[in-house]
Amino acid sequence: MFGKPAFVILVLSFLLSLPYISSIARYVTVLGFFRIKSNTIIQDPSHLIFINDTIQCEDIHFEKESGKLFLACEDSYEGRFEWFPPLANFQNPSLADKSTGSIHVVDPESKQSQRLKFKSFSAPFITHGIDVIPDPNSAKAAVYIFAINHLPDSTTCSSTESAQKCVRKAGSRVEIFHHVIGSEVATHLRSVQHPLVSTPNDILARDSHSFYVTNDYHYKEGALRLFEKLYWDAKWSTTIFVELDSLISPNPTAGVNARVAAKGIYNQNGLGWGRSGEILIGCSGSGVMEIGQASSDDPAIQVVGSIKVDSTIDNPSYFSDPFANATFDASGYLLAGLPRAVDLPRTETDPNGTDGAMVWYIPLQSRQRQESTKPDAISPRLLFEDDGERVRSATTAVMVAIDPNLEQGQRWAWLFVTGMFARSAVAVKVNLESIV
């Protein structure tokens, strides 16, 4: 499973963790050392739908005003196993130069995917985290789409140059698009780069001119990167707050202002909005979701609580129940992750691997909302799991409620699950009354 250098570092990091990690049992549990992958049984075949043309969509967002789902996907299955900087995979930059990742819009009711056509954009597009916010100034319903792009560094890595000779490996940046709801086009506005944004993973837009972005690791590759990944006290990741002077610029670095918004947290990975302005930070390797707050005057994130689950996690989301009433409210957090992250060093370059999926749901009943971060108020439920045959890996899960009038008064929802290695996103129909 591990090569000799990796095994030595694993043992070293494990030993160094002894004085600092309160429970080594939790370390073993989160990484899934002894976990056997399992499947959630779907009794009705119509309750599990594979969404067309959604290859390796690492992130998915539900945009409430339009009622649509937005996904950042790849256009071929094999490419991610030869070039994916978030996993320190730089094998084939020439292949990445030809990558044409895409943004898709999915109707939660029909489960059909629409691939958007890019306008004013022809660069390589290696997708990762995205965020979508409404454009309040558009005459027609429209959104801004923010997307991470892990294209090769064109200044040091030519398409014919060996990856080992490259100095920077990847020239990761943020792409900003504008999309009119109902159209087939995503118009590219600009690219964004800044030295503080070095290993971007996920993005959280505050408005059209500002956003948060995580650097999930300090080191891009090598032994120190592996040490940082395995040692939970290596709290070197950051979340950066970026402000733009202009939404239109041919220069990715022009008018880009950035500062550190959160640090001293292990493996900051996914970002999401919680309730009442909460900023959710998924700390992937430790299975911890930090709950933060920031003001409009000061974008620095202050951590005010946390939630732990028994697996690695990725991009967090919050389900706000639109049909909540005094007797039933299914609002809660959703966390997607891997059942056996310990296998990742072996499977991350294997197109035939079967990384499984786990989706956790943390419901917040009305009485719990007043004390949401107290341990006795948080009860993670395993909402969905898979052995990797139906959905390979889970990096994001979002939930869309079904009108009770369409279900004889019962409370149901569609759970959408996607992963960085998944051949397609899936939609699973879940009974909310059985899990809250």
pLDDT in tens, 30-57: 999 999 999 999 999 999 999 999 999 9
Distance CA 144, CA 23 (A): 43
Helices (H) and strands (E) in the chain, counts: 5, 25
From first CA to last CA, the distance across the chain in angstroms is 38
* pLDDT computed for residue 38 by the predictor: 97
* pLDDT computed for residue 318 by the predictor: 98
Distance CA 375, CA 377 (A): 5
Nearest to 17 by CA among 307, 235, 215: 235
Domain residue limits, the chain: 4-434
Average of pLDDT values for 171-182? 98
When the candidates are 3.30.70.260, 2.120.10.30, 2.60.40.1180, 3.40.395.10, the CATH number that belongs to 4-434 is 2.120.10.30
| Side-chain-side CA neighbours of residue 338 (13 Å) | 26
Nearest to 234 by CA among 194, 266, 269: 266
> Under a CB-based contact definition with an 8 Å cutoff, are residues 419 and 56 in contact?
yes
* pLDDT computed for residue 156 by the predictor: 66
Average of pLDDT values for 391-411? 98
More confident residue, 152 or 18: 152
* pLDDT computed for residue 376 by the predictor: 46
Distance CA 3, CA 6 (A): 5
* pLDDT computed for residue 167 by the predictor: 47
* pLDDT computed for residue 136 by the predictor: 97
* pLDDT computed for residue 239 by the predictor: 99
> Under a CB-based contact definition with an 8 Å cutoff, are residues 246 and 278 in contact?
no
Distance CA 78, CA 368 (A): 45
Angle between helices 4-17 and 24-31 (to 10 degrees): 140
Residues 90-126 have pLDDT tens digits of 999 989 999 889 999 999 999 999 999 999 999 999 9
What's the DSSP call for residue 14? Answer: H
Given its phi and psi angles, is residue 255 left (phi above 0), alpha (psi -120 to 50 degrees) or beta?
left
> Under a CB-based contact definition with an 8 Å cutoff, are residues 37 and 387 in contact?
yes
Distance CA 264, CA 253 (A): 27
* pLDDT computed for residue 5 by the predictor: 66
Residues 244-279 have pLDDT tens digits of 999 999 999 999 999 999 999 999 999 999 998 999
pLDDT at 366 over 50: no
CA dihedral 184, 190, 194, 198 (to 10 degrees): 20
Residues 330-350 have pLDDT tens digits of 999 999 999 999 999 999 999
